[in-house]
Amino acid sequence: MINIKIEISENGFLPKYMTEGSSGADLYASSDTTIEPFDVSLVPTGIRVQIPSGYEIQIRPRSGFSLKNKILILNTPGTIDSDYRGEIKVIMFNLNREKFYIKRGDRIAQMVVAKVEKANFVEDKIDETERGDGGFGHTG
C-alpha cells in the first residue's frame, strides 16, 4: 500500500473504499451541480492529491450510479498524472431528457491508484502477425 497526500477543501470529502475488496475509492461531489439534458458538466470533488512518481490515479464510473441515473463519465478512465496538483473534477454527461441534480456529498465516481510503466519508443520495423491490421469487428 502506498500513501497519497491529499488536501481537502472545506466542502470536500476524503475518498473512501466502501468494502475491503474495493479497487476504487469513492469520490464525492463538493458542491451542488445541475447537468442539463444531453449536456456535460465538470463536477468538483474538493480534493487535490500528490501522487508518487511511477503511479497515476484513474477516474472511473461507479456502476450503480451510472445504471440508476443514466449518467456517464466521459474520458473514462480519466488519468490524473503524478505531477498534477489541481483539484480533481469529474467530467459527467447526462443521458436523461430532464435536468440531473447532484448534491454536495453524493458519491459520483471512483478513483483507482495504478502503477505506471514508462516506455522507451524505438523507431523500427514491427513484426507481422496473423491478425495484421484487422480492427473493429474483424473477428465477427
Domain regions of the chain by residue span: 5-115
Mean pLDDT of all residues belonging to the chain: 95
CA distance 34 to 60: 20
Q: Are strands 55-60 and 107-115 parallel, antiparallel or unpaired?
A: antiparallel
Q: Is 81 annotated as a binding residue?
A: yes
For domain 5-115, give its CATH number from 3.30.1390.20, 2.70.40.10, 3.40.50.150, 2.20.28.120: 2.70.40.10
Specify the pLDDT at position 86: 97
Q: Binning pLDDT at 50, 70 and 90, where does residue 63 land? A: confident
23 is in an annotated binding site: no
Residue 94, marked binder: no
Per-residue pLDDT at 136 exceeds 90: no
**How far apart are the C-alpha atoms of 63 and 43, rounded to whole Å?**
17
75 is in an annotated binding site: yes
Grid coordinates belonging to 29:
461531489
48 annotated as ligand-binding: no
